[in-house]
Amino acid sequence: MAKVQFDTPELKEYPEVPPLVDGAMDHSSPYFASPKHQEDLGFPGELVENWEAKAVEKLGELLEKNRALRVYLDSCVKCGACTDKCHYFLGTGDPKNMPVARQDLLRSIYRRYFTLAGKIVPGLVGARDMTKDVLDEWYKYYHQCSQCRRCSVFCPYGIDTAEISMAAREIMDHVGIGQKYCNEILGKVHVIGNNLGLPEKALINTLEELEEDVEDETGVAVKYPVDQEGADVLLITPSADFFAEPHIDGFIGYGKVFHQAGISWTVSSYASEAANFAMFIGSYEQMHKVSNRIRKAARDLGVKRVIFGECGHAWRVAYSFLNTLAGPWDFLDPKYPVPQHILEFTYDLMKRGGLSLDPSANDDKVLTFHDSCNVARGSRMGDMEGGQFFIPREVIKRSVNKFYDMPADTIHEKTFCCGGGGGLLTDDLLELRVKGALPRMEALNYVVEEYGVTHMAAICAICKSQFSKVMPYYGFPMHMIVSVHQLVSEAILLGDKE
């Protein structure tokens, strides 16, 4: 595929609804999964015979299984409230990136085959036959939705475009048209245990070297254990935490927090991945399989509790579905929530005086915080309403002296996606990622100019990777994005307790 040339959108002082440009992103399409990547997940290797009927049949099956999907497809009144709420529309001006238009790509097929009006007078109700043109359009535009659910916050009926996008991707996988990035990664998780294909030996070596580096730097023997049987805590964290920047700085911070808490912990080489890309492709079966690795690791290692590291969609899957996917977790210590987020753990320790912190260690930085979509709109944290907004900010504010939030309509439940979520964090979608980051970059630019913000913290591995890549396109240095536990790591006084 030839490299696409594109212009980075201009940062405006106030966000503007872009002029409509028909077909502006019609060329954007991710690489297809190879037959092997498809077959590794039990999907057909290529477009099956009679695929039109099979796609419709699969949609019928999903409508039976997921009643919400039928409600979403039935209840849109075309009020238009969602049209300017998607970051991909705001960044590209392509009308098919308006959430309602994205929904209609599948709704038109639903109407044609599952409603009376669509069967009798298809032209009058926007119903279309399932054709190759429709399939091609699905492949392009359902891979221009990061399943961030921002549009659903503004829809008076709560229609969740993410669910529709997941259903479309699942149908495509079942007729033999999958996306390379997600499906290849899932195959690696099933065989090796993590997205990167990092084998046990390499993981052990990496963490041994990390221990040495941290001891050299701090003079304290902080442990980063792998496969330690009988540890109190199994840490399930995105594999990017083991080596990528700024993820690893957060991982170093988790180890320091556990060290100060005096709690034994371990990662597992068998389940060395928090991410569960099966959610992005809408596959319950795959999601179940990935989650079961975590259950097996927790059982085999005999831990008492399971804690998740900084990963947005992993936390949504864990918080919302882990019990039904891989429960019951009755072999863990019932004193602790299953699962628990590392931020809940750290915040609890801070509240109880278990950590000594010197926020002036971060005085070279002025912070803001990016709420990750799947944490903000797909989960909670702690035992309070809005904990997913409050706890990360509280941990940051105890670790730094200078913090400013971005404008209110771009944070909390109205946060904008980083532009790389939902299985789109791949270089074959770079133009989409850069343009989709526009609303977040505008909000960041506001606090940079108003308050001199120098760094933006996040608690999602995808957000961190996406921002490192796209920030330079907007004139921000890539090191502006930091992990929340990186700030804790800088501020923590090892050896002391409050």
What are the residues binding ligand SF4 (CB under 6 A)?
Answer: 76-82, 85-86, 88, 99-100, 102, 145-151, 155, 157, 159, 161-162, 165, 417
Nearer to ligand SF4, 56 or 90 (CB): 90
User: Considering beta carbons, is residue 100 or 461 the nearer one to ligand SF4?
Assistant: 100
CB of 362 to ligand SF4, least distance (A): 32
Q: What sign for the dihedral angle of Cα 280, 284, 290, 295?
A: positive
Measured CA to CA, the distance from residue 62 to residue 169 in angstroms comes to 12
Least CB distance from residue 315 to ligand SF4, whole Å? 17
Maximum CA pair distance of the chain? 76
In angstroms, what is the minimal distance from the CB of 484 to ligand SF4?
A: 23
Question: Within 13 A of 371's CA, how many CA atoms are on the CB side?
Answer: 30
Residue 418 or 448 with smaller CB distance to ligand SF4: 418
Q: Which strands make up the sheet holding 233-236, listed edge to edge?
A: 265-266, 233-236, 305-308, 340-341
Of 127 and 207, CB closest to ligand SF4: 127
- Closest distance of CB 28 from ligand SF4, Å: 13
Instruction: Provide, rounded to whole angstroms, the least separation between the CB of residue 81 and ligand SF4.
Output: 4
Q: How far is the CB of 68 from ligand SF4 (least distance, A)?
A: 14
CB-wise, 89 or 403, nearer to ligand SF4? 89
- Name the H helices within 302-379: 312-316, 322-326, 342-351, 373-378
Q: CA 448 to CA 347: how far, in whole Å?
A: 27
What torsion do the CA atoms of 154, 155, 156, 159 make, to the nearest 10 degrees? -140
Helix axes 132-141, 161-175, angle to 10 degrees: 130
Least distance in Å: CB of 97 to ligand SF4?
7
What DSSP designation does 95 have? Answer: G
- Nearer to ligand SF4 among residue 297 and residue 430 (C-beta): 430
> Are 265 and 239 within 8 A, CB to CB?
no
**Cβ closest to ligand SF4, residue 166 vs residue 391:** 166
Amino acid identity, position 42: G
Dig out the tokens for 276 from the structure: 């569960």
Residues in the chain: 498
Query: Which residues, other chains included, contact 476 with Cβ-Cβ below 8 Å and sequence gap of 6+?
Result: 441, 444, 448
